[in-house]
Amino acid sequence: MRDVAIIGVGMIPWGELWEKPLRTIWAEAAVAALEDAGVDTVDLITVGCMSPGLFVGQEHLASMVADQIGMAGVPAARVESACASGGLALRNGFAEVASGLADLVLVTGVEKMTDVDGADATFALGTAADQEYEGFHGITFPGLYAMMARVHMARHGTTVRQMAAVAAKNHANGLLNPNAQYHLKVTVDDVLASTMVADPLHLLDCSPITDGAAALVLAPVDRARDLAGGRPVVKITGSGMATDSIALADREDLGRLRAVQLAAERAYAMAGRKPSDIHVAEVHDCFSIAEIMVTEELGFFPPGEGGPAAENGLTALGGRIPVNPSGGLKSKGHPVGATGVAQVAEIVTQLRGEAGQRQVQGASIGLAQNMGGSGGSSIVHILEVAS
């Protein structure tokens, strides 16, 4: 298996992009990644996208997007794993290069979520839960994560202020990211004063509806060195994936995210790393409780210590393990199919030392964790600066 590097990253400003169709925002991110890599053609394109048919009425994205950048004829495929679709797109692209089936792969993620009203967006997102046993009875994702939060609070003493600290920290980071959807200073008290959505989750504990796209270009490490132009070469050293029961009622423990734990174990084993080796992480904070639970499953903190860690600044910039320096889903936004690709783009930017005011000093090993639904699937990648 060949070593694989990420030689190009592409991001666009995320938000409510009503004036641009899906194909345009995808193409803008894709072209930015190709320009960053210094290449103008690829052997394969992968597209992470959760629900284009429900959000914009468009399926068959592979054909459409390849043609949009003048690459009709290039093999392309859309992949889906709910909100982990972007992470899956990267894993598939990684496998293509590692196996030798392709030398240059354009990995992309996209979602256009604001072309429908709130009710339709809620329905589309709800398809990532168990439709027959959860959706049919009216539960939505804030409700599912609220139940997980209540279990975590009862077991470990996690508090609403600790959850609010996650949101406040990520908004502070988002202020430093020009591509973030929200450049808004948020305090813990602001979070607690916002509208209750599903007790104990307030509005500002929840990630937003977003339009956006992100892209990466992958190549074998040997070729990456030739194209690096003096910049650090960032390679993927670990990739782990796992699933869990889609419905919360079928899980052994509502206070755990088993798929995250398993995916992390597999990524660490592949990379020959352990949690204490990680310098910076992007994790799936679709709700503030999710970041707390994920940091525990990744092994950054023992069970029950994720909340106090956030409250005490251990996950802030300058903390022991900076988490979501991009602003995370909470501030950067959450166009569900694009999120996993954008997380990795941020880690590459950090490891190159190009993150500006949000730069984690000395970062040479990073981790990105992407999650589908309420934890029914998860993908973890570990990236390192090549020696």
Catalytic sites, residue numbers: 83, 334
Contact (CB, 8 A) for 61 and 49: yes
Q: Are 182 and 174 in contact (CB under 8 A)?
A: yes
Main-chain dihedrals φ then ψ at residue 296, nearest 5 degrees: -75, -45
Is there a contact between 81 and 88 (Cβ–Cβ < 8 Å)?
yes
- Read off the tokens for 387: 């020696």
CA 169/CA 54 separation, integer angstroms: 33
Of 23, 70, 15, the C-alpha closest to 47 is: 23
The CB-side HSE value for 171 (13 A sphere, CA atoms) comes to 22
- What residues are paired with 248 via a beta bridge? none
Pairing of strands 44-48, 105-112: parallel
The alpha carbon dihedral of 349, 31, 105, 81 has a sign of positive
CA dihedral 144, 18, 356, 330 (to 10 degrees): -10
- Is there a contact between 207 and 330 (Cβ–Cβ < 8 Å)? yes
192-196: long-range contacts, CB 8 A cutoff, minimum separation 24? 192/160, 192/161, 192/164
